[in-house]
Chain A
Amino acid sequence: MIYIVLIPLLLACFIPFISKFKDKIHTGIFVFIIPFTIFLYFIRFIGNEFSPIHQTYKWIPSLDINFNFYLDGLSLLFVLLISGIGALVVLYSIYYLDNSERLGHFYVYLIMFMAAMLGVVLSDNIFVLYTFWELTSISSFLLIGYWHFNERSRYGAMKSMLITIFGGLSMFGGFILLSVITGTTSIQAMIAQADIILDSKYLPLILGFILLGAFTKSAQFPFHIWLPDAMEAPTPVSAYLHSATMVKAGLFLVARFSPIFSGYEWFFIIVSIAGIVTLCWGSYMAVRQTDLKAILAFSTISQLGMIMAMLGFGTKIAIFAALFHILNHATFKGSLFMVAGIVDHETGTRDIRKLGGLLTFMPMTATLALFGTFSMAGVPLPFLNGFYSKELFFDSAIHLTEGVSGTASFLIQVIPYLAVLGSIFTFVYSLYFFFGVFRGKTQLNQLPKKPHEAPFGMLISPIVLVLGVILIGLFPNLVNGTFIAHAAESVYGSEVVKELKFWHGIDSTAFQMSLVVVGIGTILVSTRKKWNGVYKLLPGKLSFNKAYDWLISMLDVYSNRITRSYMTGSIRFYFAAILATTLVVTFTFMFVTNGFTIQFNELAEVTIVEIAVVLLMIAAAIGTIFTKHNVAAILTVGVVGYGVAILFVIYRAPDLALTQLVIETVSVALFLLCFYHLPKLEKNDETLSTKTINIFISVGFGTLLTLIAIASHSTNSFNKISDYFIETSHSLGGGDNVVNVILVDMRGLDTLFEIAVLGIAALAIYSMINLRNNKEEK
Chain B
Amino acid sequence: MEIIISILAGTLFATGIYNLLQKQLLRIIIGTVLLSHGAHLFILTMGKLKTGAPPILIEGVNEYTDPLPQALILTSIVISFGITSLLLVLAYRTVNENNTDNMEQLRGNEHE
Interface pair A571/B33, CB less than 8 Å apart: no
Interface residue SS majority, chain A: helix
Can you list, as one digit per residue, whether each of A719-731 has a CB less than 8 Å from chain B (1) or not (0)? 0111001100110
Contact for A768 among B8, B18, B93, CB less than 8 A: B93
A336 to chain B, nearest CB (A): 50
A562–B78 Cα distance when bound, in Å, is: 42
Residues of A within 8 A of B (CB): 569-572, 575-576, 579, 600, 602-607, 610-611, 614, 617-618, 621-622, 624-625, 630, 633, 637, 640-641, 644, 647-648, 650-656, 659-660, 663, 666-667, 670-671, 673-675, 677-679, 681-682, 684, 686, 694-695, 697-699, 701-703, 705-706, 709-710, 712-713, 716, 720-722, 725-726, 729-730, 736-739, 742-743, 747, 750-751, 754, 757-758, 760-762, 764-765, 768-769, 778
Interface residue SS majority, chain B: helix
Contact for B89 among A602, A674, A699, A730, CB less than 8 A: A674
Interface pair B15/A769, CB less than 8 Å apart: no
Interface pair B44/A730, CB less than 8 Å apart: no
Q: A572-B104, A575-B21, A576-B21 are in contact. Are A655 and B74 (CB under 8 A)?
A: yes
Known: A679-B95, A697-B17; 16 extra A-B contacts, CB below 8 A, are A604-B49, A618-B8, A624-B15, A647-B5, A651-B50, A652-B54, A654-B54, A655-B74, A674-B91, A675-B26, A677-B92, A698-B21, A701-B17, A703-B14, A709-B45, A760-B82
A644–B42 Cα distance when bound, in Å, is: 11
Q: A606-B4, A637-B34 are in contact. Are A667 and B10 (CB under 8 A)?
A: no
A341–B38 Cα distance when bound, in Å, is: 79
Residues of B within 8 A of A652 (CB): 50, 52-55, 65
Can you list, as one digit per residue, whether each of B74-98 has a CB less than 8 Å from chain A (1) or not (0)? 1101110111111011111101100
Contact for A743 among B58, B64, B75, CB less than 8 A: B75
A716–B66 Cα distance when bound, in Å, is: 14
Contact for B44 among A600, A651, A655, CB less than 8 A: A651
Contact for A644 among B41, B66, B78, B104, CB less than 8 A: B41
Contact for B21 among A637, A666, A694, A722, CB less than 8 A: A694
Q: A617-B8, A720-B66, A722-B66 are in contact. Are A603 and B1 (CB under 8 A)?
A: yes
Minimum-distance CB pairs A-B, first 8: A702-B14, A706-B10, A761-B82, A709-B6, A698-B18, A738-B67, A738-B55, A569-B107
26 contacts across the A-B interface (CB closer than 8 A): A572-B104, A603-B2, A610-B4, A614-B4, A621-B11, A644-B41, A647-B44, A651-B50, A652-B55, A660-B77, A670-B88, A677-B92, A678-B91, A681-B26, A694-B18, A698-B21, A703-B10, A709-B10, A709-B42, A716-B48, A720-B47, A725-B68, A738-B64, A743-B71, A758-B78, A764-B86
Residues of B within 8 A of A765 (CB): 85-86, 89
Residues of A within 8 A of B5 (CB): 614, 647
Interface pair A663/B77, CB less than 8 Å apart: yes
Interface pair B56/A736, CB less than 8 Å apart: yes
Q: A569-B108, A659-B74, A674-B88 are in contact. Are A738 and B57 (CB under 8 A)?
A: yes
A739–B66 Cα distance when bound, in Å, is: 9
Q: A698-B21, A705-B9, A729-B57 are in contact. Are A747 and B27 (CB under 8 A)?
A: no
Residues of B within 8 A of A760 (CB): 82
A366 to chain B, nearest CB (A): 58
Residues of A within 8 A of B48 (CB): 602, 604, 716
Interface pair B74/A739, CB less than 8 Å apart: yes
Residues of B within 8 A of A648 (CB): 44
Q: A652-B53, A754-B75 are in contact. Are A640 and B34 (CB under 8 A)?
A: yes
Tell which of B19, B47, B49, B71 has the most Cβ of chain A within 10 Å: B71
Residues of B within 8 A of A570 (CB): 103-104, 107
Residues of A within 8 A of B37 (CB): 640-641, 644
Contact for B1 among A605, A630, A656, CB less than 8 A: A605
Q: Give B17-41 interface residues, CB cut-off 8 Å to A.
A: 17-27, 30, 33-34, 37-38, 40-41
Contact for A761 among B24, B55, B85, CB less than 8 A: B85
A579–B66 Cα distance when bound, in Å, is: 32
On chain B, the number of residues with a Cβ less than 8 Å from chain A's Cβ atoms is 85
Q: A647-B5, A694-B18, A702-B14 are in contact. Are A679 and B68 (CB under 8 A)?
A: no
Interface pair B50/A656, CB less than 8 Å apart: no
A709–B85 Cα distance when bound, in Å, is: 29
Residues of B within 8 A of A675 (CB): 26
Residues of A within 8 A of B84 (CB): 667, 670
Residues of B within 8 A of A647 (CB): 5, 41, 44
Residues of A within 8 A of B3 (CB): 600, 603, 710
Residues of A within 8 A of B58 (CB): 736
Interface pair A624/B11, CB less than 8 Å apart: no
A569–B111 Cα distance when bound, in Å, is: 10
Residues of A within 8 A of B75 (CB): 743, 750-751, 754
A688 to chain B, nearest CB (A): 15
Residues of A within 8 A of B34 (CB): 621, 624, 637, 640
Residues of B within 8 A of A673 (CB): 88
Residues of A within 8 A of B21 (CB): 572, 575-576, 694, 697-698
Residues of B within 8 A of A706 (CB): 6-7, 9-10
Nearest residue (CB) in A for B80 is A663
Interface pair B104/A722, CB less than 8 Å apart: no
Q: A678-B26, A698-B21, A742-B68 are in contact. Are A651 and B49 (CB under 8 A)?
A: yes
Interface pair B19/A625, CB less than 8 Å apart: yes
Residues of A within 8 A of B30 (CB): 624, 633, 637
Contact for B15 among A605, A621, A722, A725, CB less than 8 A: A621
Nearest residue (CB) in B for A610 is B1
Residues of A within 8 A of B8 (CB): 614, 617-618
A660–B76 Cα distance when bound, in Å, is: 11
Residues of A within 8 A of B50 (CB): 604, 650-652
A21 to chain B, nearest CB (A): 46
B102 to chain A, nearest CB (A): 8
Q: A569-B108, A702-B14, A761-B85 are in contact. Are A681 and B95 (CB under 8 A)?
A: no
Tell which of B47, B70, B75, B107 has the most Cβ of chain A within 10 Å: B70
Interface pair A726/B55, CB less than 8 Å apart: yes
Residues of B within 8 A of A736 (CB): 56-58
Q: A637-B34, A678-B91 are in contact. Are A705 and B13 (CB under 8 A)?
A: yes
Nearest residue (CB) in A for B54 is A652
Nearest residue (CB) in B for A778 is B96
Residues of B within 8 A of A721 (CB): 68
Residues of A within 8 A of B85 (CB): 667, 670, 761, 765
Interface pair B17/A754, CB less than 8 Å apart: no
Interface pair B71/A747, CB less than 8 Å apart: yes
Interface pair B9/A768, CB less than 8 Å apart: no
Interface pair B10/A702, CB less than 8 Å apart: yes
A677–B34 Cα distance when bound, in Å, is: 22
B37 to chain A, nearest CB (A): 5
Contact for A737 among B12, B24, B46, B56, CB less than 8 A: B56
Residues of A within 8 A of B77 (CB): 656, 659-660, 663
A351–B6 Cα distance when bound, in Å, is: 83
Interface pair A659/B78, CB less than 8 Å apart: yes
Tell which of B15, B51, B90 has the most Cβ of chain A within 10 Å: B15
Nearest residue (CB) in A for B65 is A652
A56–B59 Cα distance when bound, in Å, is: 79
Contact for B82 among A579, A614, A757, CB less than 8 A: A757
Residues of B within 8 A of A705 (CB): 9-10, 13, 38, 42
